[in-house]
């Protein structure tokens, strides 16, 4: 398969928080991968900026170490040395004037400027203001902002208003890295590039939809942040909500940023408030090998959830009557993310009772082993009458596309290149984020008001027993969590 990597236009990318954890783990290794793939033009430059004071040479050592740690497969060390030459560092004071003149000298006029705010949201306003003051922002400027984008509707609105003082919405790229995952985009290709699924994609044919994002890691190391967020703010309000939108939305008229985002927004606005008995919150316990959530978070009385399962109704013509079940959690039995569209039973079985109950399930796997499986019912081979069995029509993308298929870029790589290209389709618009908080806030206020404690669950399990009950009492069951 011929490489179809198209280099983007020349750019200067400034990473505020350039020595931080996200830069080290994702942004810088991701840029290097794009460099190896030939997508970064020769003249592109990356400028790290933070309060610390490394020289260019020390910063390059930092980046070299990050790349060596996180790009372990097929790393081209000669390319790494060339990539490092594109790097610079400026020590900058977000709240003062230090370093800004130096940054202004470094950033070139005639290229695209992207400023990545990989810093605490409390600094967004200061950075935006100083970029303007020092003449660093023009029509070729984009800013990239990381989650968490607020912790409720009020703070998200305030952040949007602050950014809007200095930048147009078309210049603001709010990252939700789930939108950069290969299979998430494939969801749109599958839905809107085939005639097969769309006629069945509604409450007449779909019994329910399950979205699971399960992790095996705990919150150790990020406990202080996580304990103020919990699974609802950390995962549901953004990542799972985006997945739900892509599954539930109407076909946009074009694959263009606002057409897609308009349709997603309509879904969020159609979500019903969630009843307390449709929510199960959990917190992982410790065992001999791993410590409990409360120990990880260093908060012995924490009421924060590391697991949540919920039933959501989308009140519109397409989905009324088809529940969406969402669950996500830490320290579960496997790392796996998948969406399962569970279709209804055939209206009448010509094969009689003994043929049993068979359902088509379309499973979309985000990770690991990205791909799709469609469960279909066939006759069990051999003599002995008509016995039915379910078999998977399995399409693991890596197998289906063959060994020469281009390796899918990681979410961050793709999204950063989209920023340079000026394509906002896979980024959240301000009104979308606000609508998601408007739906989330009353849910959180509800359990906080009731002083509810999450149920504990064993590490390595599927979450609290009550989460199973959420489905069982309606005659449904979660799919097994396995990788």
Instruction: Give me the residues that bind ligand BG6 (CB under 6 A), please.
Output: 215, 234
Q: Where are the alpha helices (DSSP H) in 300-353?
A: none
Marked catalytic residue, from 88, 177, 239, 358: 239
Q: Which residue has the tokens 């959990």?
A: 282
- 239 catalytic per annotation: yes
| Contact between 44 and 11 (Cβ < 8 Å) | yes
Rounded distance between C-alpha atoms, residue 129 and residue 113, angstroms: 16
Q: Which of 25/191 has CB closer to ligand BG6?
A: 25
Q: How far is the CB of 215 from ligand BG6 (least distance, A)?
A: 6
Rounded distance between C-alpha atoms, residue 157 and residue 186, angstroms: 31
Residues sharing a CB contact under 8 Å with residue 332, sequence separation 6 or more, in sequence order:
214, 215, 216, 307, 460, 461, 462, 463, 481
Q: How far is the CB of 234 from ligand BG6 (least distance, A)?
A: 5
Residue whose Cβ sits closest to ligand BG6: 234
Q: Which of 69/85 has CB closer to ligand BG6?
A: 69
Q: Which of 234/296 has CB closer to ligand BG6?
A: 234
Q: How far is the CB of 92 from ligand BG6 (least distance, A)?
A: 25
Tokens coding 88 = 């610079």
Q: Which of 215/370 has CB closer to ligand BG6?
A: 215
Q: Which residues of 293-315 are buried (b: 16+ CB within 10 A; e: fewer)?
A: bbbbbeeeebbbbbbbbbbbbbe
Q: How far is the CB of 231 from ligand BG6 (least distance, A)?
A: 8
| Contact between 470 and 278 (Cβ < 8 Å) | yes
Q: How far is the CB of 162 from ligand BG6 (least distance, A)?
A: 22
Tokens coding 100 = 């800004």
Strand locations in 233-370 (E): 279-284, 307-312, 324-329, 336-343, 361-367
Q: Which of 234/338 has CB closer to ligand BG6?
A: 234
Q: Which of 314/332 has CB closer to ligand BG6?
A: 332
3-state SS class at 144 = strand
CA distances 113 to 29, 35, 98, 428, Å, are 20, 18, 20, 20
Q: How far is the CB of 219 from ligand BG6 (least distance, A)?
A: 7
Q: Which residues are catalytic?
A: 239
């Amino acid at each position: 398969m011929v490489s179809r990597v198209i280099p983007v236009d020349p750019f200067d990318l400034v990473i505020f928080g350039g020595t931080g954890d996200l830069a080290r783990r994702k942004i810088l290794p991701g840029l290097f991968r794009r460099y190896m793939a030939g997508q970064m033009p020769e003249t592109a430059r990356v400028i790290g900026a933070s309060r610390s004071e490394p020289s260019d040479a020390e910063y390059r050592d930092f980046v070299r170490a990050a790349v060596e740690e996180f790009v372990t497969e097929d790393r081209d060390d000669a390319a790494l040395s060339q990539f490092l030459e594109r790097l610079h560092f400026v020590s900058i004071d977000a709240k003062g004037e230090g370093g800004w003149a130096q940054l202004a000298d470094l950033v070139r006029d005639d290229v695209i400027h992207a400023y990545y705010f990989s810093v605490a949201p409390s600094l967004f306003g200061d950075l935006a203001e100083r970029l303007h003051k020092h003449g660093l922002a023009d029509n070729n400027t984009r800013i990239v902002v990381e989650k968490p984008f607020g912790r409720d509707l009020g703070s998200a609105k305030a952040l949007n208003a602050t950014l809007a003082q200095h930048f147009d919405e078309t210049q603001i790229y709010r990252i939700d890295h789930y939108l950069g995952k290969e299979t998430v985009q494939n969801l749109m290709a599958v839905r809107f590039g085939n005639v097969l699924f769309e006629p069945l994609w509604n409450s007449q044919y779909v019994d329910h939809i399950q979205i699971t994002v399960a992790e095996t890691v705990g919150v150790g190391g990020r406990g202080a942040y996580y304990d103020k967020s919990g699974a609802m703010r950390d995962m549901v309000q953004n990542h799972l909500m985006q997945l739900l939108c892509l599954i539930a939305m109407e076909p946009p008229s074009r694959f263009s940023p606002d057409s897609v985002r308009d349709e997603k927004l309509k879904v969020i606005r159609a979500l019903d408030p969630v009843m307390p008995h449709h929510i199960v919150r959990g917190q992982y316990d410790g065992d001999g090998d791993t410590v409990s959530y409360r120990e990880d978070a260093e908060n012995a009385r924490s009421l924060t959830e590391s697991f949540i399962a919920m039933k959501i109704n989308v009140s519109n013509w397409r989905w009324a009557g088809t529940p969406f079940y969402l669950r996500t959690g830490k320290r579960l039995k496997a790392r796996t993310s998948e969406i399962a569209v569970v279709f209804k039973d055939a209206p009448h079985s010509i094969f009689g009772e003994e043929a049993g109950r068979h359902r088509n399930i379309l499973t979309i796997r985000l990770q690991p082993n990205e791909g799709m499986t469609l469960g279909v019912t066939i006759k069990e081979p051999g003599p002995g009458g008509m016995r039915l069995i379910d078999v998977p029509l399995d399409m693991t993308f890596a197998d289906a596309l063959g060994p020469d298929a281009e390796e899918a870029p990681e979410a961050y790589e793709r999204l950063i290149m989209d920023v340079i290209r000026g394509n906002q389709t896979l980024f959240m618009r301000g009104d979308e984020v606000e609508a998601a908080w408007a739906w989330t806030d009353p849910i959180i206020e509800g359990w906080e008001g009731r002083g509810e404690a999450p149920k504990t669950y064993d590490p390595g399990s599927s979450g609290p027993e009550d989460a199973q009950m959420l489905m069982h009492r309606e005659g449904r069951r979660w799919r097994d969590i396995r990788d």
